[in-house]
Structure 1
Amino acid sequence: MHSNTCFADDNSETGGERSDPTNSDTDDGTTVRPETAIATIQSPNTISPCNERDPAFVPPINTLPTEVLLLIFEYCHYLWRSTSIKKEREDSPAVWDRSVRSLMSLPCPEALSHVCSMWREIILSTPTIWVFLDLYTLCQSSQTFIERSSAFIPRTQNQDLVLRVRLRHEEDGSPSAADSLKEFCSSTAPRLRSLLVDNHAANDTTLFTSLIQTALPKATPGTLLNLFIKDYGARTNSSQEDNTEGLAGWELPTAELCGISQEALDSIVRPIKSLRLSGQFFPWTSPAYHGLVELHLLFIRPARGRRPFIQGHRLRDLLLASPELRILHINLNVTGEDGLLDLPPVPLNHLEELSLRGMSRGVYDVVLPLLAPGNKPLQFTYQTQQMENAPLYCPAVFSFLQRANVTSLYIIGRWSFGQQLSIDELLTSSPTNLQTLGLERLSILEFTPQAEQTEKFSQLSHLYIRKCAIDVDVFKQLLELLPVQVLKLHRPEFRGRLKGDDVEANREIASMIPIVKRVRSSRDMELWDSWEVEYEDPPEPMHSPNSWRNRVWSWLG
């Protein structure tokens, strides 16, 4: 089960299906059950020393200082926790279960503690490695993960905890399973630094809501600093309710439903610094929105009925209450612009990231004039108008770009309108100090270069293209004007070359840019610089031996 030397698994990212952690075969032919794995974590006698076979041999990685090894372990743990779980609405709970089993076939940090005795000693003596607790529903039960997290807690000593609860199944399992989950959340809540409750059940929020009602009242004021609540369940809201505040059908449990006073709930949520809400929200007057450095206000479009909204003056009050805000993601409808234009914009001198992805285009005219970013470099994401020949920059966006130091700009087109990128407008009206430019769902098909455009973007080094139709010759003309050093592509549709064979297009483009990568992940462009992003190999020529061999192996499974 354990190696006597430190090693790296060359097949760890092959993409093949992994074994079921509840019934996995080890190299020696034995079967490991969850309770056995937990006992293995707790037992000090499950591994041989690294130098058992050759006392003089020390693996090169073990010559690194302990603090460097710990950084490597943290990186491995980060990658493991960032692994995507199948969770789209069309995915069945069975697909979710397979993804979870695949994730748990090589769990972290347990797998690291099984490599060699030196690693095991470091990992078991480092409390901060064990503070991350994950609870998933697997076959309508989270018992396996409750047992795993319960084994972690003694090793955390007095460290604050991070709890991530992710639900996918409807609540039709045994009541005892739900009770066990709520009991665990309740017992860990006083030590939580971060709480994430994530609901992907298609039509059920009962368990999701009950977990919030259980955990949030038990949290310790000042200890809970990060609260992420995401409800992706389908929503049908009545249009008959009183909805002056815009949250009818979208509210988080009240203090009364949580079984505590409003004063007690306010004391818990007031110190929070990072608040990500999607699908359920605190009242707009809640102190949860005060003193934040990160705020997400997002929603999934309901099956029918109205969407949540916030009045313009309420949003302005929220922004004024968080002068040190660094990250703002919002796609809510914002109403009531009357009188706002007469008020000065809110100074946000620390703002570093603004995303309007998914926001109705008409709301820009209300939201953007409210914001007065400082001089810090800003990442800005927005979508074009819903029209065939939409300008790249509408007046509200153009005005915002004039008063903000935007160095990373992500522009998302409207695919259903077949929008083309106006390269002339891009080159003449974009911020001059751009360093990263991302383009999504825009066709890059026509361009007539002008002499005065050649010196426009002296700092632009990264260009990201996602799901764009690209005329290769036009794109090459554009690249000649941009000092791009890194080009990343995801599902480009090359035109102007033989259909179905992208090799020539890739070769021509790669000859112009030092680094060209094809992104495998479907993550948003804004996340393409993160560690966990995976890349594809360059496409093989259609008739090359390697291409044929790969296709044969693909057919054979």
Structure 2
Amino acid sequence: MVGVKTNFQYYSNSSTTRWTDTLLLALPSETTVPSDITNSVPPELAESIANELDIAISYKARFQQSKAAISVARNCSSTIVPITALPTEILTRIFRLVVGSQRCHAAGERIDRKNITFPAHPVRLSHVCSRWRQVALDAPGLWTHIDFPPFPRDQQLMTRMDVYMGRSRQSLLDVHVVEEYPSNPSSNVNPIYTHLIEFLQPIFTRTRSLHIELDFNDRLFGIIGSPAPSLSFCSALLSYCLAGCVSGTLTQLDVRVEGVSNVRGLMESIDNPENNRSVILALPKQALEDLLFRIPILRLNGPIPPLSSGAYHGLVELRLGPFVRASISELQLVAMLKSSPGLRILEFGMARTHQLRTLQIDRIRGFFARSNVTRLHGLIFDGYPQVAELLTLAPRMRDLDLEEFRDRSQDGGVEALDNLAPNISLNSLTLRRCLQLEMDELGRFLERLQVRVLILQYCSFRGSGRSMIEQDVLRNELSALCPIVQFLPNEPEPVNKWCWLD
């Protein structure tokens, strides 16, 4: 039990207390102390009044201390605050899940220095109470995401970075570098490199994942008239970052370039570049190959290693963004896939120099038989029988996106779904650019597959009389068939959330 010992009784019968009691009675009803009271303060009480004021002030401090002690006692009570019953190990695990759920700043968007924000969950968790703070500070793994803000560096963000680096202790780090090319062509870019080396070089040896975002001013070509400045800027920045990383410690590399296209070709060593338009890295070829060879996760939407590089060997995830300015032949793609038999995620946006030959249906069946396909985007399906065949090949399908689906009732219609295994169902169905679908057929489709979420974009439907159904009527009818119905007439692509940046 927390308490405060008081000495008010000492003055209870004194003249000082009687006078202050009179003053207290007057204060609630007066905005100022009446002059007849202030002028009647006996001189002999002055010292006693001063002493009593000091005692009253000391009580205020004691009450604040008691309040803090009681708050700590309350927070430590599992009866009042049930979460305190959790062991520290479980609470730490929960903290890690919370921190891991927060994506880094505005991924997939252009850099906005004025509104740039970085993950703050570790800080918020450490501010809840004294125990949570201690748990958070004792878990260096919560502080391993290091964000390096763009130049000129915001001092608050730099302080935040220093705090995170200190609290991460000797843990491996996830480093995120955000940099922006100066819009003024006469700007000196050397301070950018100087700051980067000064602050990040000591921790690159502990970097397990490196995410680099470079933004080039859209007017760069018009102002400068040559792609050389952007190439040299990108080359220097990537060289500084990669040169400090350790082969085997760095296991994930993300590079994203915005603004200009000439830095989205190849990244090559300075030893023997094959293309004078490449991003040339100031690293020996063997050192660069050793570093890239042992990185199992590559996410590149900017310059990429040459297709002959060992970087494409032994990958578990490969994402080459749609704006990579390089092409690949069918044989190169096949060789790349064969060199990574453990590849689990492939996002491929590069242009192919030759079309892949058409596969026989037996080979397609074989692919689905040995794969665990849960999400699929299909273009131009002719009727429900084809959808039924697809679901037979991929019975674990949970999210299906159909673009330009054609309802060909003469091919058998939705009755083809009756032959599916009873455990086959869908969580979500997305229909895009599907015109004049039969409403009754779609209703039976949704009911048979127990679809929970229906997303529509640029679709139209016919009723039983072949007339088109208005959207308000359509919304009411579909809501009766499916728990969640979304109309996205103006959205670019509802399946973009499946793409490489997520």
User: TM-score, structure 1 length as denominator?
Assistant: 0.61
C-alpha spacing 1:171/1:80, structure 2 compared with 1 (3 Å): farther
Report SS of the residue matched to 2:305.
Answer: coil
**Partner residue of 2:294 out of 271, 294, 304:** 271
**Partner residue of 1:133 out of 146, 159, 176:** 146
**Partner residue of 1:516 out of 480, 484, 499:** 484
* Distance of 1:397 and 1:65 partners within structure 2: 57
Residue 161 of structure 2 aligns with an amino acid whose one-letter code is S
**Partner residue of 1:333 out of 351, 354, 357:** 351
* Distance of 2:455 and 2:293 partners within structure 1: 42
Q: Does 1:66 align with 2:88?
A: yes
The answer to whether the 8 A contact 2:479-2:485 is kept is no
* Distance of 2:244 and 2:378 partners within structure 1: 41
**Partner residue of 2:387 out of 423, 426, 431:** 426
The answer to whether the 8 A contact 2:247-2:290 is kept is yes
**Partner residue of 1:455 out of 419, 422, 426:** 419
Cα deviation per residue 1:84-139 (whole Å; 9 max; x = unaligned)? 45725xxxx6xx24552xx45x822111111111111111110000011123437x
- The equivalences for 1:288-303 within 5 A come to 288-300=311-323
The answer to whether the 8 A contact 1:312-1:335 is kept is yes
- The equivalences for 1:18-167 within 5 A come to 51-52=71-72, 54=74, 56=77, 58-82=80-104, 84-85=106-107, 87=109, 96-97=112-113, 99-100=115-116, 103-104=117-118, 107-137=120-150, 141=153, 144-167=156-179
Deviates more, 1:444-453 or 1:457-466: 444-453
- The equivalences for 1:100-499 within 5 A come to 100=116, 103-104=117-118, 107-137=120-150, 141=153, 144-167=156-179, 170=182, 172=184, 175=189, 176-203=191-218, 204=230, 207-235=233-261, 250-256=265-271, 257-300=280-323, 307-335=325-353, 363-365=355-357, 395-396=358-359, 398=361, 400-405=363-368, 406=371, 407-411=373-377, 413=379, 422-428=383-389, 431=393, 433-439=395-401, 441-442=403-404, 447=409, 449=413, 451-456=415-420, 458=422, 459-465=424-430, 467-469=432-434, 471=437, 472-480=439-447, 482-489=448-455, 493=459, 495=461, 499=470
* Distance of 2:158 and 2:199 partners within structure 1: 7
C-alpha spacing 1:509/1:187, structure 2 compared with 1 (3 Å): same
* Distance of 1:529 and 1:297 partners within structure 2: 11
C-alpha spacing 1:206/1:320, structure 2 compared with 1 (3 Å): same
C-alpha spacing 1:425/1:443, structure 2 compared with 1 (3 Å): closer
* Cα offset, 1:81, TM superposition: 2.0
* Distance of 2:327 and 2:136 partners within structure 1: 47
Residue aligning to 1:33? none
Report SS of the residue matched to 1:411.
Answer: strand
Mark the structure with the bigger radius of gyration: 2
Residue 194 of structure 2 aligns with an amino acid whose one-letter code is D
The answer to whether the 8 A contact 1:291-1:323 is kept is yes
* Distance of 2:81 and 2:94 partners within structure 1: 15
C-alpha spacing 1:98/1:400, structure 2 compared with 1 (3 Å): farther
Residue 255 of structure 2 aligns with an amino acid whose one-letter code is I
- For the aligned residue pairs, the C-alpha RMSD in angstroms reads 3.8
* Cα offset, 1:168, TM superposition: 5.1
The answer to whether the 8 A contact 1:162-1:192 is kept is yes
The answer to whether the 8 A contact 2:388-2:416 is kept is no
The answer to whether the 8 A contact 1:465-1:489 is kept is yes
* Distance of 1:259 and 1:334 partners within structure 2: 30
Cα deviation per residue 1:198-228 (whole Å; 9 max; x = unaligned)? 2343545654432211011111111011111
C-alpha spacing 1:466/1:206, structure 2 compared with 1 (3 Å): farther
Report SS of the residue matched to 1:227.
Answer: strand
Report SS of the residue matched to 1:328.
Answer: strand
* Distance of 2:458 and 2:84 partners within structure 1: 43
The answer to whether the 8 A contact 1:141-1:177 is kept is no
C-alpha spacing 1:142/1:412, structure 2 compared with 1 (3 Å): farther
C-alpha spacing 1:226/1:505, structure 2 compared with 1 (3 Å): same
Can you give the 5+ residue segments of structure 1 that lack an aligned partner in the other structure? 1-46, 238-248, 302-306, 337-362, 366-394, 414-418, 534-557
* Distance of 2:73 and 2:101 partners within structure 1: 32
C-alpha spacing 1:136/1:253, structure 2 compared with 1 (3 Å): farther
* Cα offset, 1:269, TM superposition: 1.7
The answer to whether the 8 A contact 2:247-2:294 is kept is yes
Residue 377 of structure 2 aligns with an amino acid whose one-letter code is I
The answer to whether the 8 A contact 2:175-2:211 is kept is yes
* Cα offset, 1:486, TM superposition: 2.7
The answer to whether the 8 A contact 1:432-1:457 is kept is no
* Distance of 1:77 and 1:224 partners within structure 2: 21
Can you give the 5+ residue segments of structure 2 that lack an aligned partner in the other structure? 1-66, 219-229, 272-279, 463-467
Cα deviation per residue 1:226-250 (whole Å; 9 max; x = unaligned)? 111222433259xxxxxxxxxxx71
* Distance of 1:50 and 1:197 partners within structure 2: 48
* Distance of 2:127 and 2:249 partners within structure 1: 32
- The equivalences for 1:4-19 within 5 A come to none
Q: Does 1:525 align with 2:495?
A: yes
Report SS of the residue matched to 1:179.
Answer: helix
* Distance of 1:255 and 1:58 partners within structure 2: 65
* Distance of 1:136 and 1:199 partners within structure 2: 11
The answer to whether the 8 A contact 1:136-1:145 is kept is yes
The answer to whether the 8 A contact 1:49-1:116 is kept is no
Residue 109 of structure 2 aligns with an amino acid whose one-letter code is K
Report SS of the residue matched to 2:347.
Answer: strand
**Percent of aligned pairs with the same amino acid:** 19
